[in-house]
Amino acid sequence: MGLAIGLVGLPNVGKSTTFNALTKAQNAEAANYPFCTIEPNKAIVPVPDVRLDELSKIVNPERVQHSTLDFVDIAGLVKGASKGEGLGNKFLSNIRETEVILQIVRCFEDDNIVHTEGTINPIRDIDIIENELILADIEVLSNRIMRLQKQAKSDKSGKALADFADELMEFLAEGKLARNFPKADHEMFIELNKDLRLLTAKEIMYGANVDENGLLEDNEFVVAVKEHAAQHNCEVIKLCAKIEEELIGLSDEEAQEFLDDLGVKESGLAQIIQKGFDKLGLMSYFTAGVKEVRAWTIRKNTTAPKAAAVIHNDFEKGFIRAEVIAYDDYIACGGEAKAKEAGKMRLEGKEYIVNDGDVMHFRFNL
């Protein structure tokens, strides 16, 4: 699945409704019963970026291409999933293949929508999900420790890694997430996680799903989720999945007018996409021509030749230099030609680290 964001949560919290709205299509069945999602639904979602609109006003291109993000709608987890309850380990393995977890948490009451636990309590729901993820991590780590202990009999480095893994195991056994392990930046943690892909080591965002009345003011459920997230250094995005689904099919202008009428500045899903893009360590640079204005996705701290390779591998092989105009300069000058005249275009070499929003043109020789 690559750099994907996995939507998780208990059954009937609004995951599939959120996914439908997120992808602008009814790709995931939303039904009022558990396990309506069995195979993980996947979608490639454009990343909202107003900078593309501003560039297009100047260039007037034939087409506009956004950066994209992969989302996976993973079926609802229940207590005991790590032991095969509900639809069990299959879904835990689907989560393992993603890089960021977006946990949809129900923060509204509605007698017409069944909750598997009988009452609305988002912190309890978060604990259920995260406990299952911790138990799954304990299982895979336990298996690795057994192999490391055998290796340690003849390899001193194996003993050091085994001891480190034991320390991590004690931390998980206390019901804590691996991402909060005090030594999470240690090279041995990185080595272990490279193979194990620990579920609780992943970045976590909470999508607080509210009803229309909860959009303007945080209700008690949202307040509790935000307090929990602050303690664990996680993001919270408030959204109303039902409203977001109603935005499907509307033009950008109509959607914004609809949000304005509700007193909301920005779609919750737009925030999820943008924050998810950032959590994955991604950013965009631009190319701007009459044929196309396009955002190209790269990792943060990427050099110019590697950024060029996103367009074509040959661009990296034959890289000579990059012509770079900062986005703000490009807009302020009214385009490439005037930016050049104003001395805002820079020539950058192989060591240049690309900045988010750079407008670039590559020179190369094959």
Per-residue pLDDT tens for 279-331? 999 999 999 999 999 999 999 999 999 999 999 988 999 999 999 999 999 99
Burial class (CB in 10 A: 0-12, 13-18, 19+), 362: buried
Rounded CA separation 149/159 (Å):
7
Closest of 295, 293, 291, 322 to residue 306, by C-alpha: 322
How many alpha carbons lie under 13 Å from residue 294 in its C-beta half-sphere? Answer: 16
Beta strand 63-65 with 292-299: parallel, antiparallel or unpaired? parallel
| Residue of higher predicted confidence among 72 and 58 | 58
Domain parsing of the chain, residue ranges: 4-279, 301-364
Q: What percent of the chain has pLDDT above 90? A: 57
Which one is the CATH code of 4-279: 3.40.50.300, 3.60.15.10, 3.40.190.10, 3.30.1120.130?
Answer: 3.40.50.300
- How would you classify residue 83: left for phi > 0, otherwise alpha for psi between -120 and 50, otherwise beta? alpha
Residue type, 104: I
Q: Which pTM does this prediction carry?
A: 0.83
Same-fold call for 4-279 versus 301-364: no
Of the candidates 249, 255, 241, the one whose C-alpha atom is nearest the C-alpha of residue 16 is 241
What residues contact 121, with CB distance under 8 A and at least 6 apart? none
* pLDDT of amino acid 90: 58
Architecture of domain 301-364: Roll (3.10)
Tokens standing for residue 190: 């990185």
Distance separating alpha carbons of residues 335 and 111, to the nearest angstrom? 56
Residue 114's pLDDT band, with cuts at 50, 70 and 90, is: low
Tell me how far apart the alpha carbons of residues 51 and 33 are, in angstroms, rounded to a whole number.
41
